[in-house]
């Protein structure tokens, strides 16, 4: 009897001995290395799948044809349309917010903290520009704050906070403290460049709200300029990718997937307005961007780069046979190792040009414009290092000839500037589309043949649908957002998007 009691209580006394070790996973670590986390975030700032960015944003921006009619492209297609949302929240944002939270109370990590805050603003602005009101203040607090149903915030509040974050982050940089060095795969820990990037991002955001909140647009544009903007292409925020294998891997450029995967054969082609705008101006970038596919279409292979044969496919009607339309150049953008430019000196120059035209800042709009065009052509040299001659290099002579043939026209300045911005931002589809909505240029929809049913109701879409999952998992908050912002349709305008 005693033996039994001893045996039983023996089990009892060691009832949870060793449980802590047992319930600690041996496959993972519980403390991250910030220098490994940061490059992961930088590499994942671009969607690693092509669904939302190509199927919707690129098609809306008239840069790429996706082989469907306008009614189809604005119909509910939830899984594809939510990929951008899901990607940004669950990958780069989640990890950068974690980095921020790990640096907040550590003064020695102040530079990491500022970098984190700037990247967070960058990621959020692309989300809110695409969807409108989104979870912001309560977002990414699933673990740290236990918030499983984050509230949707009005876009205006999000913009206010993004300006505040950028201002504070720039001010907080302390050169004497540790910087990430080579773990920062964009700027190699160069704090001066980070400041320029943050100010240039502020400039982008300022111009975005120019119609809805001109006072703040002016205020932040001036602040950004005073703080110092990207001053040359060597300041560009460029993420270099490294691999040709495994399409969706972290180290490969997600935008290339559009061209390389099976879609090469039957889906994606450059859209007519985009190729036309290059060819119309005899643009030396035509052959850097485009190539004609080589027939028969049985494999992914080098095509014809001759600018003369490049052709875009009409956006929705598809009267142009696919086989005679251009795809991305396999040596530049059509490869997984293609770099991705998130923000460039050229963009900054175009924005300054527009601000000057609008009289918000003083300056020579023509000079800004020309600087922008030249920089947009020069920057392509980073794409052409894949054994293709002449690579992406566009000579100064070619740049000057282009400007000579297409001189700055003050009477048509906004159209000119924003059309150049549109060409320059390929394949940053979200940015190209957002700027089209804000500026109204280029107008690629008015000229569509309305007698064709595939063009039925074709107007520039103003936003993306929210993910269907939100109606299931966060119903109260999404319904609040919809009642505040307007119906969850692609025709509903976001806050800054005024007619």
Partner 1 sequence: MRLAITSLKMLVILFTTLWTFSSSAQSRSITISGVVTDAAGAPLSGVNVNVKGTSTSTSTDVKGAYSIAASNQRPTLVFTFVGMAPQELVAHNSQLNVQMVVAGKEMEGVVVTALNIKKNPRSLGYSVAQLDGSRVNTVQTPNLVNALSGKIAGVDVGNIANGVAGSKRVVIRGATSLTGDNNPLWVIDGVPINSSSLGGLANNTPEGGYDYGDGLTGVNPDDIESISVLKGNAAAALYGSRASNGVILVTTKSGRSAGGKTSVDFSSSLMLDQLYDLSNFQNVYGQSSINQLNGRELPTSADNAKGSDSWGHIMDGTPAPQFDGVVRPFSPVKNIYKDFFRTGSTITNTVSLYGSNANHDYRISVSDLRNKDIVPNSNYARTSVNTKTHSKFGKMDVDLVINYTFDKANNRPYIGGNHDNSLYSLLYLPNTIGLETLKPGYDSLGRELLYTQGVSNPFYVINKEKEADSKNRLMASATLKYEISNWLYVRGRITRDYYLSKRLQYIPDGNASSSFPYNSPSNIGGIFNQRAVESSSNEYEVLVGINPGLKGKFGVNGFVGGNISSRASSQLIESGNTFIVPDVYTFNNLKTKLPSTSESRRRTNSVFGSLELSYNKFLYLTLTGRNDWFSTLPLDNNNLFYPAASLSFVFSDAFNLPAAISFAKFRASTAQVSGDTDPYQLDLSYSLDAFTYNNTLPLQLIGTSNIPNKKLKPLLSTDYEMGLEMDFLQNRIGFEASYYSRQIKDDIVRTGVSSATGYSTAVLNVGKMENSGLELLVRGTPVKTKNFSWDITATFTKNNNKVVALGDGVMGVPIVLATSKSGNAFVRLTEGERYGGIYGFSYTIDSATGQKIYDSRGFPLVNSTAKYLGNSTYDKMFGFSNTFNYKNLSLYLFVDAKFGADIYSETNATAYKNGKHMATLFGREEGFIAEGLNQAGEKNTVMVMPDNLSSYYNQIGNISEQFIYDASFVKLREVALRYRFTNRILDKIGFANASVSLVARNLLTIYKDKNLENVDPESNIAANNQQGIERMGYPATRNYGLTIKFTIK
175 vs 296 by CB, closer to partner 1: 296
Query: Cβ closer to partner 1: 8 or 192?
Result: 8
Instruction: Judge contact between 149 and 475, C-beta under 8 A.
Output: no
Instruction: Quote the least distance from Cβ 432 to partner 1, whole Å.
Output: 24
Min dist CB 62 to partner 1, Å, is 20
Contacts for 396-399: CB closer than 8 Å, 24+ residues apart: 398/284, 399/284, 399/373, 399/374
Of 158 and 352, CB closest to partner 1? 158
Min. distance of Cβ 219 from partner 1 in angstroms? Answer: 29
Rounded CA-CA distance 320/315 in Å is 10
CB 289, min distance to partner 1, A: 18
The residue (of 372 and 461) whose beta carbon lies closer to partner 1 is: 461
- State the minimum distance, in angstroms, from the CB of residue 252 to partner 1: 9
Q: Which of 295, 404 has the CB closer to partner 1?
A: 295
- For residues 30 and 24, give the distance between their C-alpha atoms in angstroms, rounded to a whole number: 9
Enumerate long-range contacts of 31-37, CB under 8 Å, 24 or more apart.
32/98, 32/99, 32/102, 34/99, 34/102, 34/103, 34/109, 34/112, 34/180, 34/183, 35/180, 35/181, 35/183, 36/183, 37/95, 37/98, 37/99
Nearer to partner 1, 194 or 264 (CB): 264
d(CA 258, CA 268): 7
- Report in angstroms how near the CB of residue 77 gets to partner 1 at its nearest: 8
Closest distance of CB 471 from partner 1, Å: 5
Contact 427, 290 (CB under 8 A): no
In terms of CB distance, is 65 or 277 closer to partner 1?
65
| Of residues 216 and 479, the one with the C-beta less far from partner 1 | 479
The distance between the two most distant Cα atoms of the chain, rounded to a whole number of Å, is 105
For 200-262, give the DSSP string. Answer: HHHHHHHHHTTTT-HHHHHHHHHHHHHH----SGGG-EEEPP--SSSTTSTTS-GGGHHHHST
The backbone torsions φ and ψ at residue 343, rounded to the nearest 5 degrees and listed phi first, read -155, 135
- Shortest distance in whole angstroms from residue 295 CB to partner 1: 10
- Type and span of the H or E element at 194: helix 191-208
The 10 Å CB-count burial string (b at 16+, else e) for 67-85 is bbbbeebbeebeeebbbbb
Q: Compute the distance between CA of residue 493 and CA of residue 129 in angstroms, rounded to an integer.
A: 10
Nearer to partner 1, 119 or 317 (CB): 317
* Shortest Å distance, C-beta 265 to partner 1: 6
Q: Which is nearer to partner 1, 5 or 171 (CB)?
A: 5
Q: How far is the CB of 12 from partner 1 (least distance, A)?
A: 6
Q: Which two tokens stand for residue 270?
A: 């450059």
Comparing CB distances to partner 1, the nearer of 31 and 176 is 31
Distance of alpha carbon 94 from alpha carbon 103, whole angstroms: 15
Are 421 and 347 contacting, i.e. CB atoms less than 8 angstroms apart?
A: yes
CB of 415 to partner 1, least distance (A): 29
Whole-Å CA distances, 38 to 143, 185, 186, 342? 19, 9, 10, 16
State CA 227 to chain mean position distance.
24
């Amino acid at each position: 009897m005693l033996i039994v009691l001893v045996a039983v209580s023996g089990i009892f006394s060691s009832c949870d001995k060793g449980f802590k070790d047992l319930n600690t996973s041996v496959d993972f670590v519980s403390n991250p290395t910030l220098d490994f986390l940061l490059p992961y975030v930088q590499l994942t700032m671009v969607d690693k799948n092509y669904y939302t960015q190509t199927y919707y944003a690129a098609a809306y921006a008239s840069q790429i044809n996706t082989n469907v009619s306008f009614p189809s492209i604005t119909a509910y297609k939830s899984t594809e349309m939510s990929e951008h949302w899901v990607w940004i929240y669950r990958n780069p944002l989640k990890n950068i917010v974690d980095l921020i939270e790990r640096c907040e109370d550590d003064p020695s990590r102040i530079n990491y903290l500022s970098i984190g805050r700037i990247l967070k603003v960058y990621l959020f602005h692309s989300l809110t520009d695409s969807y409108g009101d989104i979870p912001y203040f309560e977002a990414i607090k699933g673990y740290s704050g236990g918030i499983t149903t984050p509230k949707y915030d009005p876009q205006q509040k999000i913009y206010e906070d993004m300006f505040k974050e950028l201002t504070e982050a720039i001010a907080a940089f302390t050169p004497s403290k540790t910087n990430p060095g080579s773990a920062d795969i964009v700027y190699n820990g160069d704090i001066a460049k980070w400041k320029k990037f943050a100010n240039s991002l502020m400039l982008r955001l300022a111009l975005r709200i120019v119609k809805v909140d001109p006072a703040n647009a002016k205020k932040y544009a001036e602040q950004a300029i005073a703080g110092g903007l990207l001053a040359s292409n060597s300041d560009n925020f460029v993420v270099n990718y490294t691999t040709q294998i495994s399409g969706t891997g972290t180290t490969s450029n997600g935008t290339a997937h559009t061209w390389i995967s099976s879609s090469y054969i039957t889906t994606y082609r450059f859209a007519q307005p985009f190729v036309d705008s290059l060819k119309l101006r005899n643009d030396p970038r035509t052959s850097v961007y485009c190539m004609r596919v080589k027939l028969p279409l049985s494999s992914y292979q080098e095509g014809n780069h001759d600018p003369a044969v490049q052709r875009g496919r009409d956006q929705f009607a598809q009267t142009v046979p696919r086989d005679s339309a251009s795809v991305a150049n396999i040596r530049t953008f059509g490869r997984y190792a293609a770099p991705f430019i998130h923000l460039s000196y050229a963009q900054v120059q175009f924005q300054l040009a527009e601000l000057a035209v609008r009289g918000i800042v003083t300056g020579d709009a023509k000079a800004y414009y020309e600087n922008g065009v030249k920089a947009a052509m020069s920057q392509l040299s980073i794409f052409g290092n894949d054994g293709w001659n002449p690579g992406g290099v566009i000579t100064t002579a070619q740049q000057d000839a282009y400007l000579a043939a297409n001189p700055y026209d003050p009477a048509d300045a906004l159209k000119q500037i924003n059309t150049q911005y549109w060409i320059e931002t390929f394949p940053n589809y979200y940015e190209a589309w957002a700027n089209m909505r804000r500026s109204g240029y280029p107008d690629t929809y008015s000229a569509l043949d309305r007698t064709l049913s595939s063009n039925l109701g074709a107007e520039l879409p103003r936003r993306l649908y929210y993910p269907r999952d939100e109606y299931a998992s966060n119903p109260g908050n999404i319904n609040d957002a919809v009642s505040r912002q307007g119906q969850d349709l692609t025709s509903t305008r976001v806050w800054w998007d005024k007619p």
